[in-house]
Amino acid sequence: MKFSQWLKNLEYELLQGNLDVEVEDVVYDSRKARSGTVFVCTVGTRVDSHDFIPEVVEKGVTVLVLERRVSLPEGVTAIFVHNAREALAVLSAARFDYPAKRMVTIGVTGTKGKTTTTHMIKAILEACGKKVGMIGTTGIVIGEKVTPTANTTPESYQLHEAFYQMAEEGCEYMVMEVSSQAFKMHRVEGLVFDYGLFTNISPDHIGPDEHENFEEYLFYKSKIFQCCEVGIMNGDDEHYDEVVKDAACRLYSFSLDKAGTSFKAENIRYVAQSDFVGLEFDVKGAYELAVRVNIPGRFNVANALAAVSVLSFLNLPKEKICHGLEHLSVNGRMEIVYSSERCTVIVDYAHNAVSMESLLKTLRDYKPRRLVCVFGCGGNRSKDRRYSMGDSAGRLADFTILTADNSRFEKTEDIIADIRSSISKTEGTFIEIPDRREAIRYSILHAQPGDMIAVIGKGHEDYQEVNGERHHFSDREEILNVVESSEFINR
């Protein structure tokens, strides 16, 4: 294509050259530069890629996008833009011929619940026979293929490349987690979601290389309602008014507690049966439905209600929506791996005290005979996390097994010793089994009828990181190995 055809949605100044030059691709990594590519020069905290102009021109690049005015070699076309990352997003969309427009697009943002809610939406759509692409914490998902990504929301080029692949493979819907960094770094610039969903907001991601303060964090999160056609906001969030004040979309709300919202959850019931542990509730308001959700916890009522609120606009069969929620599984997020009269075993990603407290308090609502917690803490991370998680386990679990969790360059025994120093100050009962496989095995083989076992910290991760190396390890796989073993069956 001609470069000029990629520029219709971009404000720029032509510095030199011919805009009708033929181009094939756009890159921002000098190592990928070659003839036929447009090289976008970005200014980062550590690297200014304007410095690589001589190198990429030598490789055959004849089109440059600059956000800093620099001396230019002869024979190249160069344009100046005020923000190169914004330009990269616009050019990437054009390079793949705006593939997001070929699907119904759903963007989900919020501090908590993004991953679970996107999985819920995907599961429901698939229960309705739809083909769905998904982007988020677990990577880029197209059918059975999962491609890991470095960020929850990938760079704009990778995003549009994924949209193109999804559309080419017949996806009718695309659902993705949209991080605050995605807005700040212009990764979703130019995208207009058909539906934008905001789960909640609380202080997070504040610090070096993230956000300066909560106000900045909220500002970027709230941009979801400036780039969607229909917006749906958590009406129970204390920052509701501030989040929606600049909304440029048709706005709806959902709630567990407030009257007058578009969608309301009523008659919430906690269910713990040998073959089902989860929730039941009624959706009221603009859409009415009685649902069962096979993931525990009041916060998952909010997640499920958010998912149903979005999907209510899509004219889907209600019985299919119900089936999708009742049989969904979110890898590593309050995932019930095994349940019987003997015990229930849950895997969750909780890896700090706030998440751990929420998880254990939620499981208490199901009144287990004993609440057993299996966890460790990551090495080369703040020791405060170890002390606070030890305290939470000691107060909220009936029995705790301390074990390994990505010890990295520390000794597992030293990490456990730090946790021990806080849990021993509580009245909680605990033992130490450094080998995580053995810890999981012990918790299940020694379960008492009615026990609920929470194996936490790793969630969807399928590795253990030790001394700089990652070894395959999945909590889910280890649990299934135990419950399918003759030792457990014949016990």
DSSP codes of every residue in 230-268: EEEEETT-TTHHHHHTT--SEEEEEESS-TT-SEEEEEE
From first CA to last CA, the distance across the chain in angstroms is 68
* Beta-strand runs (E) in 311-367: 335-339, 343-348
* pTM score: 0.84
Among residues 440, 436, 433, which one has the least CA distance to residue 464? 436
* Residues 212, 464: Cα–Cα separation, whole Å: 32
- pLDDT, position 18: 95
* Numbered residues of the known binding site: 30, 110-116, 151-153, 179, 187
* Numbered residues of the known binding site for ATP: 110-116
* Beta-strand runs (E) in 349-481: 371-375, 399-402, 429-432, 451-456, 463-466, 469-472
Pull the structure tokens for residue 141: 């998902």
Q: What is the pLDDT along the chain (491 residues), one digit of tens a residue?
A: 899 999 999 999 999 999 999 999 999 999 999 999 999 999 987 899 999 999 999 999 999 999 999 999 999 999 999 999 999 999 999 999 999 999 999 999 998 889 999 999 999 999 999 999 999 988 999 988 999 888 888 999 999 999 999 999 999 999 999 999 999 999 999 999 999 999 999 876 666 667 778 899 999 999 999 999 999 999 999 999 999 999 999 999 999 989 999 999 999 999 988 888 899 999 999 999 999 998 888 889 999 999 999 999 999 999 999 999 999 877 888 899 999 999 999 999 988 888 899 899 989 989 999 999 999 999 998 899 999 999 999 999 999 999 999 999 999 999 999 999 999 999 999 999 999 999 999 999 999 999 999 999 999 899 999 999 999 999 999 999 999 999 999 88
* Residues 337, 357: Cα–Cα separation, whole Å: 21
Give the domains, in start order, of the chain with CATH numbers: 3-85 (3.40.1390.10), 99-326 (3.40.1190.10), 335-489 (3.90.190.20)
Helix (H, G, I), strand (E, B) or coil at 90: helix
Helices (H) and strands (E) in the chain, counts: 15, 24
Which residue shows structure tokens 């990269």?
88
Structure letter (DSSP) for residue 284? E
* Residues 147, 389: Cα–Cα separation, whole Å: 32
Which residue shows structure tokens 């759509």?
125
* Residues 486, 483: Cα–Cα separation, whole Å: 8
Helix (H, G, I), strand (E, B) or coil at 296: coil
* Residues 204, 214: Cα–Cα separation, whole Å: 8
- pLDDT, position 441: 98
CA 307 to chain centre: 15
- pLDDT, position 45: 77
Among residues 378, 460, 469, which one has the least CA distance to residue 416? 378
What are the residue ranges of helices labelled H in 253-352?
A: 298-311, 318-326
- pLDDT, position 299: 86
Query: What b-and-e string marks burial along 420-438, b requiring 16 or more CB atoms within 10 Å of the CB?
Result: bebbeebebebebbbebbe
Structure letter (DSSP) for residue 124? H
- Check: CB of residue 318 under 8 Å from CB of residue 126: no
Question: How many CA atoms does the CB half-sphere of 156 hold within 13 Å?
Answer: 28
- pLDDT, position 207: 67
